[in-house]
Amino acid sequence: MLRFFIVLTSLMLSFQMNAESNCDFKTSEFLNELKNPKNINFINIKIPKSGKYMRNSFKILTSKGDVIPSDLKKKFKANLTVNYNFGECKYLAKIRQSGDRKDHIKFLNGGKLLQSLDVKLDKGNILRATHFKLLIPETRNGKNEILASLILKNSGFIAPETFEVSTLINGTKSIMIFQENAKKELLERNFKREGAIFEGDETLLWSFKKYDKFFLEPLALSRLVNGNWFLKGPSSQIISLSAYSKVQSMYLTYAATLQDQPQGTWGVKLEPNKESLDNFVKFDLMLLAMNGSHGLRPHNRKFYYNSITSEFIPIYYDGDVDFIDLKNNHMGHQSRDIIQNLLSRSFNFNWSSQINEIVDFKDLKIEFIKRVNIPENDAAEFFNLAIKVYKSNLVKIEELITSSSRVKDKKKIKNKINSYTEFQKENQVSQLLVSDVKIDNEKFVLDYFNGNSKVIDEKEMKDIISNNLHGKERVTLIQSKSLEIDTNFFSREISEFSGKIAASPGIKISIDKSNKSISFTQSQSKDWVLIDSADLNNWKIRFIGLEKNDNEKFFSKQRFNQFGLTGCLTIYRSTFKNVSFEINNGECEDSLNILNSKGNIDSIYIKNAFADALDVDFSEINASIIDISYALNDCFDLSDGKYNFESVKLNECGDKGLSVGEQSTLNLEKILIYNSNIGIASKDSSETVIDRATVENVEFCLAAYNKKQEFFGSLIKIKNIECKNYFKRSKLDNFSKIEEINSNYNNENIFEKNNYQIQSEKNLVKFIRYDEKLEAEKVINTSINHYYKYGIIPF
């Protein structure tokens, strides 16, 4: 069936411009203030069906044991108001009881009930969080949790936004800890692309009441936290299953070790690459210095899988930290177990030289004071004492490691799967074990250890790896060797710029060391190149793609491949100094993708992009010249970064010329845009400042709006703009703002209504929404023949 994308801007914006909540102020005028938790006066939650909610709460209180029954964690609709210094935002939300134990529910003096809550907002956000917890402070050791999250985040680890906030919940006043959940917003806030998140599966520990607590820990492996990401497409599925198999192997090793040492051992020994190992050791020791060994217990751990580098990254959650002197804590057996585990590894760093380099403690103090609900002097006193103890504990741990002899790694446990199955059989735990999974025509073929096989769909597969359930039956995937990602690609270290290059097998590489130029040439249309951790100084980089056959269809079911790459050429974690790029015929989601990088670029020239031409994410870039011609989607996308450009020229862009999004700031001297649906779009908490803009032959000259729930409105400031031949001057929602000082709009009205063949979505075309595009499967009449700048992109 013929497939093509509809890029009809007015239709798309009708979907996009409804992401925000009902605020009584224009959010684009308070973008900086909305990032500061200190500006939240209080959060008010009212539960319409309070009777049912209270009855459920009393059932929790009167239930047997100290564990909250999972069937009493019922969801209730709620009305939530956030009161800021400058106005209010009102949200519809769903809430439920949070926490495993009953310390998350209690009576206050006066008989009022207080509960830790999980909150999911239907629309809008609080500091970019759409799913979060409001926790009774004592369940997280109060301000210790806030400081630990800040230290780890500022040390380069993934940690949730955490702060104290005044709350009024069904009439009960209290100070609570606000902490975002492990969702894509957490990853993006920490400058990571959305990807698979794993955690220890606690189901067997809390739900099987006939067993003593932790008795079944040797059977408790892991689970995929964000199952909906698995459902997004085939690349997500392959990445998730491949990574899941690796995580399960790590937990199986721990489970087998646990059976050898019934008293328990702490700290899963992960075996990623060398760089990750140093990071894991650093994370573990930093948490130990905060007395946070609770967060290192395997069932409490969370991991993000970076598919670009095939490595796991620890996520901080619920460390139960307490900034007290290790000597006074007598260095508990958990801490000693972890240190002994670490001593069996090889790692390269020196704590003495890094203690003061890891974090800028002056900036950290400012951020901490913003996040606690006590007078500034008291907050500063707490911070100073805690940091003094933290540094002292790091030194003590270093001294212990230095004085201890390195222990040899224990012999690898043989038949850890047999050990697992034997324990399950001995204790009569009912669960089916999957030995392998294959993908066949968008279905999943499961091979069980008992010899049986079964074919399931993607939603059933998601339930198995997310909840260890298939229907009402407990099912655990132990391994999936058939879905290990093919690593048959070229990889080499490049001494000339102290980085490394990975590329698909068909890429031809030519390096001219004397002229500092490097060229990549495709032999197949899906060939790709990754430059990682490079110091690019005065290099000229070219990517030469294949010219597209007119009969060839460009269609991809997902934006990224099985390595998480969207670009034909991806520059990752690199620095630039006087670098130039030339890209031709990029048949990928992005012809050039710059990710987590920074520095100065002389020029970028891109021609003939079959989707987006240039996409820059999580970066800080200064550039002199950007020149892009012919892109079937956006010419130039910026997200989640800080950008400064001198001169930008964009021509023949299928959708947007310039798109600035996801809390980016852009300062631009001059831009020329010709033949595009939207000239300049600023969206999702972004601020776009332009000195001179010339725009011609567009549907909209400017657009400012909120699209994604985790962001607010957007701002465009233009000193001088000239726009010719447009359908409408601008597209603007209620939350965003466009400021123009000098403007000249000259419309020759080239966009006549009869140029639009799409009259009705219902009668003309079937739309399927995925990612940021509308895909059309059925077309009636001759609309496909119209040139794409009028709203249609033909394929």
* Cβ neighbour number for residue 444 with a 10 Å cutoff: 22
Instruction: State whether the Cα torsion 199-200-204-205 is positive or negative.
Output: negative
Closest CA to 273 of 20, 533, 570: 533
* 174-183, 362-371, 746-755: range with lowest mean pLDDT: 746-755
pLDDT interval class at 358 (50, 70, 90): low
The type of residue at 676 is S
Strand, coil or helix: 104: helix
Does residue 336 register a pLDDT over 50? yes
Contact 6, 784 (CB under 8 A): no
Q: What is the pLDDT of residues 628-670, one digit of tens each?
A: 999 999 999 999 999 999 999 999 999 999 999 999 999 999 9
- Residue with the larger pLDDT of the pair 259 and 450: 450
Does residue 204 register a pLDDT over 60? yes
The type of residue at 504 is S
Q: Which two tokens stand for residue 597?
A: 């990088």
Does residue 329 register a pLDDT over 90? no
Q: What is the pLDDT of residues 48-90, one digit of tens each?
A: 988 899 999 999 999 988 889 889 999 999 999 999 999 999 9
Note the Cα 754 to chain centre separation in Å. 43
Contact 470, 456 (CB under 8 A): yes
Closest CA to 727 of 751, 748, 759: 751
Q: Which two tokens stand for residue 488?
A: 């048959």
Q: Which two tokens stand for residue 222?
A: 């892991």
Dihedral Cα 56, 62, 64, 66, nearest 10 deg: 90
Q: How far apart (Å, rounded) are the C-alpha atoms in residues 329 and 683?
A: 50
Q: Which two tokens stand for residue 195?
A: 């990807």
Q: Specify burial of residue 100 (Cβ count, 10 A radius: 0-12, 13-18, 19+).
A: middle
- 217: enclosing H helix or E strand: none
Contact 152, 212 (CB under 8 A): no
What percent of the chain lies above the pLDDT cut of 90? 58
The type of residue at 268 is V
pLDDT interval class at 558 (50, 70, 90): confident
- In the block, which residue shows the tokens 């339930």? 463
The CA-CA-CA angle for residues 107, 111, 113, to 5°, reads 45
